[in-house]
Chain A
Amino acid sequence: MTVRGDYLGMTLSIDDLDGENLAYFRHCADHNFHLQRCDECKLLRYPPTTACPWCASPKATWTPVEGKGEVHSYVEVHHAIQPAFKGHTPYLMLLVDLDTQKGQPTPDEALRVAANLTTPDGTLAPADMVKRVGIGTRVRMVFSDVTDGMALPQWTIDETAKQPDKPWRYAQE
C-alpha cells in the first residue's frame, strides 16, 4: 500500500511497488534502524537497493544495525531551497560513517547515512546546536515521525560518547 505523509509541510511518499523503501521506512517508523544484509557476501548496504552493490545478489535480509557513528562531512545550509526548510536555517545535513562496517570492504568505504542534525526528539536542531557539530562529532540516531509506516532517521549529538576536543568546522562562522 502506498505510504504518504506530511513532514514540515512537504508531501513524502513511497509507492506500493517500492518494496525496499517501504521496508526501510517501516523499520524507522518503529524507531528500529534496519539495513539490508546480503545473504551471499554478508555485507550491509545503504541506502536500500534491489541487488547487492558488491556481489549483485538479489537476496538480502533486513538486519538491525546500531545507529551510532561519526560525522564524515556535512553541508550547513543558510539559504534554503525547499519551502519546507525556509524557516529552519541554518540547518545541517550530515554524512555519518556508521561504526558498523566502517572501512569495509575497502578502507575508504563506510555505510554513510545522510540525515539532518536534530534534537533528541527529531526536531531540526537550533542554531546554537548546529555550531557545536563538525567532522568528527559523535552522533546517535533518532527519528522524526511522519506517518504510519514512515519515520525519517536523523542524527543527534551522542551526549554519552567521548567527543573530539574540537570537531572540524568550516573556517568562517
Chain B
Amino acid sequence: MPLPADTDATTPKYLRDKYAIVGVGETAYMRGSGMTTRALGTWALRNAIADAGIKPSDIDGMLDYSGNDSTSATFMAGDLGIRLNFYMDCIGGGSSTEALIGIAIGIMEAGLCKCVAIYRAMNGYSQVRIGGTGARSAVPVNGDALHSRAYGWQSAGQMFAPTFMRHMYDYGTKPEQVAMVKVVHSEHASNNPKAYYKKRYTVDDVISSRFICKPLHLLDCCVETDNATAIIVTRAEHARDLRQHPVLIRGIVGRCNKPRMDMHYQHGPISRVAGYYAKDILWPNSGVGPEDVDATGAYDAFTFTSMLQLEDYGFCKKGEGGDYVSNGTTRLGGKRPNNTSGGHLCEGYTHGMNMVIENVRQLRHEADDSCPIGPDGRRQHTYDYREGGCRQVRNIEVTANLGWANPMTGSAMVMRRG
C-alpha cells in the first residue's frame, strides 16, 4: 500500500465534466430582509429548482454552510417537501461553496444520492453582521482566542490586514492599484440589476473613503447584505435533459491550506495565500491552466483578496497582482474579466456562492443584464459594457472561481460550457 505522501490526490481524469451545475437561484440582495434565514433559503432553493426545470422531489441530497447564523437543511427540505438521502450542515464561510460542490460530487460518485442542492442563507446585515460588529463583537475572550481577540484583532479585515500590508511592503503594491478592484467590480455591478450597489466608483472615491483598518478603506471592504443563494449539482448525463444549457465541472480544490493552521502567520512569506498550494491541485484536476480561463470569480471580501488570489493561482507573476488588477485585464471587455456581477464588493455578500452563480450564467451565455430579450426568449446581448448595459462576456467557454476563507484557506473550481 502506498504511503500517503506517494498517493496521487488529483481527481481521476474520468471525473472531469462528469458533473454539472444545472440550476442556480437566489433571493434579492437586501439590507433588512424582514424574514428568517429559513425563509430566505427556501426561496433561493425554490428559485434554483425552477431554474433547473426539475421537481423538488428530484433532489435527494442537500449541503449548506454557515457560521451558526443560518437554518439547517432539515427545515429547508421539509418546507419544500423533499425527502433527503443525504444532508450535511457544515461550518464555514468563504471557500465553502467550491468545497461543498466537491463533496457533492464525492457523495454522488459514492452512490449516496443523485442530485444535490447547496445553499447559503444569511441575514449578514440585519442579524449576524459579517463585518463583525453587533452582538458577536462583545463576547468574552477565552483560551486560544486570547492570542488574537484580546488585542482587538478579531474581524476579517483586522485578521487579514497583515497579509495585505506585507504584500505592499514586499512588492511595492500601491493603494491606487488595489482600489481598481473596487472600481472594476462597481462598473460590472452597474450592469447588474440585482446588485445592491450599482453606483460606479473611482480610484479617488476608494482611497479618500475613511480608514477601517489600514490598509483597508471603507470602499476596500465588501457590502453586508441579507440574502440566500442556491445551486443544484447532478450528473452531466442527466443535465442534458434539463432546461438550461449544461455547465460542466472540470475540477475542484477544496479548503486547501497554508502550513501552521493554528496561526498561519508563523509560516512565511506571509504575503502568500492558500492559492499557492491550491493551484497545484486545481489546474491538474481541471486539465487547463490560467491562460485557458475566459473569466474569473476571485473572492472579493476585500479588494486585496481578489488580487492576492489571482496572483497565487498564476494569472500573473507573484508580486504583479497590483498591475494585473489595474491594467484593464479584469474589466468587462478586457482579456479576463473578474467578478462580472460586481461580486461581494457590490452585488451582495453570500460567502462566495453568488460568484459561482454568476459564472454559471455567464457560461450559459445568459447573464441577466439589461439587454433586451428576443423573440426566442433569449437575451440579445449587445456587448456594450457602458453603464446600465451588457455584462455578458463574449464567447465565454471556461471560468475559474477562486474562493477565499482567509489568507490560509482557499477553494477553487473550474467550469466550462457543456
Contact = CB atoms under 8 A, between A and B. Distances in A.
B146 A75 contact: no
Most buried by A among B137, B161, B215, B268: B268
Interface residues of B, number: 46
B15 to A, nearest CB: 33
Contact of B215 (A12, A21, A49, A170): A170
Given A75-B213, A114-B151, A116-B151, A81 B132 contact: yes
A19 to B, nearest CB: 11
A93 to B, nearest CB: 5
Contact of B214 (A25, A76, A115): A76
A73 B165 CA distance: 6
Interface string A61-99: 000000000001111111111111100101101010000
Contact of A111 (B207, B266, B270): B266
B301 to A, nearest CB: 15
Interface stretch (B30-38, B166-174, B229-237, B303-311): B166-174
Interface string B129-153: 0011100011011111011111111
B267 A109 contact: yes
Interface stretch (B54-62, B67-75, B257-265, B391-399): B257-265
Interface in B181-238: 207, 210-215
A95 B267 contact: no
Most buried by B among A14, A73, A88, A90: A73
Contacts of B161: 74-75
Contact of A80 (B144, B152, B207, B269): B152
A108 B137 contact: no
A12 B150 contact: yes
Given A109-B268, A172-B207, A83 B140 contact: no
Contacts, number: 143
B146 A74 contact: no
B213 A79 contact: yes
Interface in A144-173: 152, 168, 170-172
A77 B162 CA distance: 11
A170 B168 contact: yes
Nearest to B132: A81
B152 A84 contact: yes
Contact of B162 (A74, A110, A168, A171): A74
Contacts of B213: 75-79
Interface string A1-17: 00000010011111100
A128 B137 CA distance: 27
A84 B137 CA distance: 9
Nearest to B211: A78
Contacts of A47: 144, 147, 262-263
A58 B65 CA distance: 33
A15 B263 CA distance: 20
B175 interface: yes
A109 B266 CA distance: 6
B327 interface: no
Contacts of A39: none
B154 interface: yes
Given A170-B214, A172-B207, A85 B143 contact: no
A93 B158 CA distance: 9
Contacts of B141: 10-13
A53 B260 contact: yes
Contacts of B262: 47, 49, 53
A18 interface: yes
A142 B350 CA distance: 41
Interface of B: 131-133, 137-138, 140-144, 146-155, 158, 161-163, 165-166, 168-169, 174-175, 207, 210-215, 260, 262-263, 265-270
10 contacts: A12-B150, A14-B142, A75-B162, A76-B211, A77-B158, A77-B214, A84-B152, A93-B158, A108-B269, A109-B268
